[in-house]
């Protein structure tokens, strides 16, 4: 299968590099940034990466992995070149399939996917929205491509893509920030960076493991919280009405969703 990936930054490179390990896939990448092209050539000699789109390209899949704000210009170039593909895929946040089709002046099926950075280690969350005009066989192929990168969840409604962008797309950053804040506070309270990392990461690992057997999170919280104990004091702060973790997380996630909604309108 011939796959053209346009934009080989963080996401495009991770995807291309994972797929290039499969013998049946031939990956061709296009990346504007010279520094990124150099890094890719150093990291993975088997990946073909060029500066500009080829004048003629015929294959099965074209994947857009550029920033949303770069798409309009890219579409103008694609229209001028002779690119023949069976399917277009887009991981760009916020740009609707209709907008992509309009810019490319095409009726070729456009599938939108919202992956997350876990794809780097084949633990990504990939939410896929298929268009109505896609063939069953193409769906099967695309599902299997993304199963190489983690789990696949099929969405039925395009509006949910902006929501999922704010949850699982941006989600790893929320978790990283939580770990960073936890680590910094642990240092302030008297531990070294090394010890902070160890006790926090092991705590998180254990807590996550416990949720496998008990999906009532409130029950797990209650098990850690003794009456008049230390956890109860901390939770009074974390769950303070109108000023707790819930309100902060909600504001953050809605800000991400609003940005995705705004990007959809801009394009
Ligand atoms: N990062 C995430 O966790 C994540 C998660 C889900 C979805 N996404 C989506 O994935 C897309 C890519 O994100 P990213 O984080 O990988 O961005 P990125 O690291 O900035 O990668 C995009 C790359 O595309 C290059 N580029 C721009 N225009 C191009 C063109 N016409 N032809 C070839 N290359 C071009 C950029 O070069 P220059 O820097 O020189 O412009 C950049 O190196 C975005 O649309 C984003 O919404 C990202």
The string of pLDDT tens digits covering residues 96-117 is 999 999 999 999 999 999 999 9
Give the predicted TM-score (pTM) of the model.
0.92
User: Does ligand 1 lie within 6 Å of residue 32's CB atom?
Assistant: yes
Whether 68 shows a pLDDT value over 80: the answer reads yes
User: Does ligand 1 lie within 6 Å of residue 117's CB atom?
Assistant: yes
Domain boundaries 171-264, corresponding CATH code: 1.10.3730.10
How many angstroms is it from 9 CA to the middle of ligand 1? 5
Mean pLDDT of the chain: 95
Beta bridge partners of 49: 29
Whether 267 shows a pLDDT value over 60: the answer reads no
Domain boundaries 2-165, corresponding CATH code: 3.40.50.720
Whether 266 shows a pLDDT value over 70: the answer reads no
- State residue 46's pLDDT score: 82
Whether 173 shows a pLDDT value over 90: the answer reads yes
For the chain, where do the domains classified as CATH 1.10.3730.10 start and end? 171-264
User: Does ligand 1 lie within 6 Å of residue 70's CB atom?
Assistant: yes
For the chain, where do the domains classified as CATH 3.40.50.720 start and end? 2-165
User: Does ligand 1 lie within 6 Å of residue 92's CB atom?
Assistant: yes
User: Does ligand 1 lie within 6 Å of residue 33's CB atom?
Assistant: yes
């Amino acid at each position: 299968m011939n796959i053209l990936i346009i934009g080989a930054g963080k996401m495009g490179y991770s995807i291309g590099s994972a797929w290039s390990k499969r013998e049946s896939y031939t990956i061709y990448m296009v990346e504007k940034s010279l520094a990124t092209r150099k890094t890719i050539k150093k990291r993975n000699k088997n990946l073909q990466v060029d500066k500009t789109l080829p004048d003629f390209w015929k294959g099965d899949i074209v994947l857009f992995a550029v920033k949303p704000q770069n798409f309009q210009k890219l579409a103008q170039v694609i229209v001028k070149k002779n690119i023949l593909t069976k399917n277009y895929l887009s991981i760009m946040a916020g740009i609707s399939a209709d907008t992509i089709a309009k810019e490319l002046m095409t009726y070729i099926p456009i599938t939108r996917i919202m992956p997350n950075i876990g794809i780097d280690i084949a633990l990504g969350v990939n939410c896929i929205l298929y268009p109505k005009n896609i063939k069953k066989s193409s769906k099967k192929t695309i599902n299997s491509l993304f199963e190489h990168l983690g789990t696949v969840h099929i969405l039925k409604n395009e509006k949910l893509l902006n929501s999922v962008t704010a949850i699982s797309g941006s989600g790893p950053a929320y978790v990283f920030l939580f770990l960073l804040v936890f680590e910094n506070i642990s240092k302030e309270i008297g531990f070294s960076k090394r010890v902070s990392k160890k006790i926090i990461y092991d705590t998180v690992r254990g807590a996550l493991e416990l949720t496998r057997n008990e999906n009532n999170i409130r029950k797990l919280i209650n098990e850690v919280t003794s009456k008049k104990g230390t956890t109860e004091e901390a939770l009074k702060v974390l769950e303070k009405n109108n000023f707790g973790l819930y309100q902060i997380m909600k504001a953050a996630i809605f800000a991400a969703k609003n940005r995705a909604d705004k990007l959809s309108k801009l394009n």
